[in-house]
Chain A
């Protein structure tokens, strides 16, 4: 792959990492609360649903803000990529936005009505599911590449180009993975029969997630030439095998802590680890392209003075954000008390 000569570790690379970090934090944080929303579907109406929703009610808003940072950061640091990618993935993004509306208001509306509660529960389930699938489809759409007109600096394809078997498969994979995060989160936050049910679900979802990660990993290298050489060219195959082994180890750890050791929080941490590895693998496939394999991060980057101006703020504010986010999770730590539930 052509990597620009003499570029070692410049501002653009830092910004690429910041945006990737924001998206990763979004994926793991909103991932578990969207997954929890999907798991609503298989829980009977009533008390357990209240407990599930209350386990994320104080933090979901902060989780979702990372999506705004991912999008806003892309707009600010890589405006050309933002202008190329969003029209290309128009349908999945609009679907995601609409789904997030239903999901977000359900947190409030569900408690404001008895008669309509099943409707808002359905909005929560449907919104979470559609948002997760749409995000996976968008990811798949980006990975498989988009048609651009470089001279006109614009997207040149149609509004259904994203729709392929690969994108649908990634959409399904992301939804299943989010459900795994949601189930292990609930193992951590709940007790009793709800927790036991979630252990069983996490086990099945864990198997499915590993299978999906395998399929995506084997399929992706064949989408673009660059991906293939990244993973299977020369000694790179050792790296690929290493990543696969680490995912396997984390999966084993998750199954063992889930069912054998009956740990409460290790399954969630293992699932998070699998997501981080999968995400890093995707980044490794794409780098240094931001629109594979047409536009590199340097071609799409905002001018240096914009990058510096934003970096000053990001360097100060992101650590502060992480601190008070951690504090907020700390405040609401521990098991959800089912006795203090719905009166």
Chain B
């Protein structure tokens, strides 16, 4: 038994590790794909070259992040079978279909049009190139739809029955499977998080170059200003929206996964007459209490029940073996929320600066935006940890325990693959992150008035594009 338990723990660490790495890339590219489609559309519409400059700048970064997302995603799609084969056998009949739909409706769309988006501007003309950009952006959104549907089903399973012979989850109503109770909230909250992640990275890069220009006392390119302005609009609009979405997602979680909310709030005890909001505390799960707790009386009840004196049940109502690991959930939730409010702060600050006409001349704001550049990525990971660790000890909430989901593998097998993944991920994605940061470190190039993408260095091939066909090669205006 000892060996089995070990293998499960190692499989959990491996899954957490690989999914955390993977999730960062789509969190960034979902927003970036839309941003690129908007930039390309603005360029075609206004013929203002600053939009083309920005497109060329961000599309190189997108290509790098997308490639890393793809290769780490393929790992995820096979890891269900290699490490979690019992889960795969049981849940496959129900969630396999939405996952197959993700491949058919999203992955192929992204992959099929990515080549045209990156290399094809001169070959297919502006309209089809725009369609390719839209196809990639829509593909990332469709992908988010399906994978969050599957993930939500694991939190709030619906529309199935259990086969008494095989223990498989058999679908009875796919509408309920896909639109399960937590799905709309999770989808809205996660996609908005992805947009905010991109906004803060774009804003941080723009802020870096604004600060550099100020330091060097040279002219700021219109592209950099536009980049900062667009990013700050996103922060101003979407940070408050996200806090609202987070709140209603939390209420939904309280309804369906109360133990998770109890862990998020640190409520070991039930509060019959209004629960406090703990700002700080050290969860002590062994003793079932929150040490050094500092809280605001009744505020938790107000947030969760919209009533100061509403009773809230605590973890004392849940058997200890059914409780999620409280400390991880408690702290990751606080990290996410703090970053969310910091984003709101930047959004309001930038709106105030914009109103006063100092958006591009406020070094304090630019420094804050630069510091906040990775905040979206951190918040997304923290939120993901909150929701996934909060689901424990279940893979399919209330039905299938994590310990009963794993493949019948030797601990040695899972352990050695875990070591291999850790080494490869840090080496490969470390190098990729370095290349992305190096690209970000250069300011957007001000364009020559030409349309050709490879005029100032092509997109992901730094000097080479797949060749034009001799016979059909068209001469560009101005060539």
Q: Is B truly associated with A?
A: yes
**Which A residues fall within an 8 A CB radius of B?**
50-51, 54-55, 57-59, 61-62, 64-65, 67-69, 71-77, 79-80, 82-87, 90-91, 93-94, 97-98, 100-102, 104-105, 107-109, 111-113, 116, 152-156, 158-159, 302-303, 305-306, 309-310, 313-314, 317-318, 321, 324-325, 328, 331-343
- Residues of B in contact with A, size category: 35 or more
- CB within 8 A of A61: which of B70, B413, B461, B470? B70
Asked if residues A83 and B469 are in contact (CB atoms below 8 Å), the reply is no
Chain A residue at smallest Cβ distance from B72: A101
User: Given A104-B71, A309-B97, A93 and B82 touching (CB < 8 A)?
Assistant: yes
In the bound complex, residues from chain A placing their C-beta under 8 Å from that of B412 are 159
Asked if residues B108 and A62 are in contact (CB atoms below 8 Å), the reply is yes
Asked if residues A54 and B465 are in contact (CB atoms below 8 Å), the reply is yes
Quote the shortest CB–CB distance from A289 to chain B (angstroms): 17
Quote the shortest CB–CB distance from B271 to chain A (angstroms): 43
In the bound complex, residues from chain B placing their C-beta under 8 Å from that of A69 are 100, 103-104, 107-108
Q: Does B250 contact A (CB under 8 A)?
A: no
24 contacts between A and B (CB under 8 A): A61-B70, A68-B77, A71-B77, A75-B77, A77-B96, A83-B407, A86-B82, A86-B85, A86-B88, A90-B82, A101-B72, A101-B424, A102-B428, A105-B428, A107-B67, A112-B439, A158-B410, A303-B93, A303-B170, A305-B172, A321-B108, A328-B115, A334-B471, A334-B472
- CB within 8 A of B70: which of A90, A94, A104, A342? A104
Asked if residues A325 and B85 are in contact (CB atoms below 8 Å), the reply is no
Binds A, one of B118-126, B196-204, B346-354, B442-450: B118-126
Asked if residues B119 and A58 are in contact (CB atoms below 8 Å), the reply is yes
Give the tally of cross-chain contacts (CB within 8 A). Answer: 276
Q: Does B261 contact A (CB under 8 A)?
A: no
Asked if residues B115 and A67 are in contact (CB atoms below 8 Å), the reply is no
- CB within 8 A of A328: which of B85, B116, B417? B116
**Which B residues fall within an 8 A CB radius of A?**
63-64, 67-68, 70-75, 77-78, 80-82, 85-86, 88-94, 96-97, 99-105, 107-116, 118-120, 123-124, 166, 168, 170-172, 174, 407-410, 412-413, 417, 420-421, 424, 428, 431-432, 435, 438-439, 460-472
Q: Give Cα A214 to B263, complex, Å.
A: 62
Q: Give Cα A310 to B146, complex, Å.
A: 13
In the bound complex, residues from chain B placing their C-beta under 8 Å from that of A325 are 108, 112
In the bound complex, residues from chain A placing their C-beta under 8 Å from that of B110 are 61
- CB within 8 A of A153: which of B103, B166, B413, B468? B166
- CB within 8 A of B99: which of A72, A91, A155, A343? A72
Asked if residues B93 and A306 are in contact (CB atoms below 8 Å), the reply is yes
User: Given A50-B464, A84-B85, A108 and B108 touching (CB < 8 A)?
Assistant: no
Quote the shortest CB–CB distance from A78 to chain B (angstroms): 8
- CB within 8 A of B421: which of A93, A98, A328? A98
Most chain B beta carbons < 10 A, residue from A64, A68, A302, A340: A68
Asked if residues B466 and A328 are in contact (CB atoms below 8 Å), the reply is no
Most chain B beta carbons < 10 A, residue from A77, A112, A318, A342: A112
Quote the shortest CB–CB distance from A334 to chain B (angstroms): 3
Q: Give Cα A223 to B186, complex, Å.
A: 50
Asked if residues B88 and A328 are in contact (CB atoms below 8 Å), the reply is no
Asked if residues A112 and B435 are in contact (CB atoms below 8 Å), the reply is yes
- CB within 8 A of B114: which of A55, A61, A67, A80? A61
Asked if residues A306 and B464 are in contact (CB atoms below 8 Å), the reply is no
* Given A61-B115, A83-B86, 8 new contacts (CB under 8 A): A64-B70, A79-B168, A82-B80, A101-B71, A105-B432, A156-B408, A302-B92, A306-B94
Q: Give Cα A167 to B12, complex, Å.
A: 30
User: Given A102-B428, A109-B435, A93 and B78 touching (CB < 8 A)?
Assistant: yes
- CB within 8 A of B460: which of A65, A73, A108, A313? A108
Q: Give Cα A327 to B268, complex, Å.
A: 59
User: Given A101-B428, A309-B97, A324 and B113 touching (CB < 8 A)?
Assistant: yes
Asked if residues B467 and A310 are in contact (CB atoms below 8 Å), the reply is no
- CB within 8 A of B171: which of A101, A111, A303, A339? A303
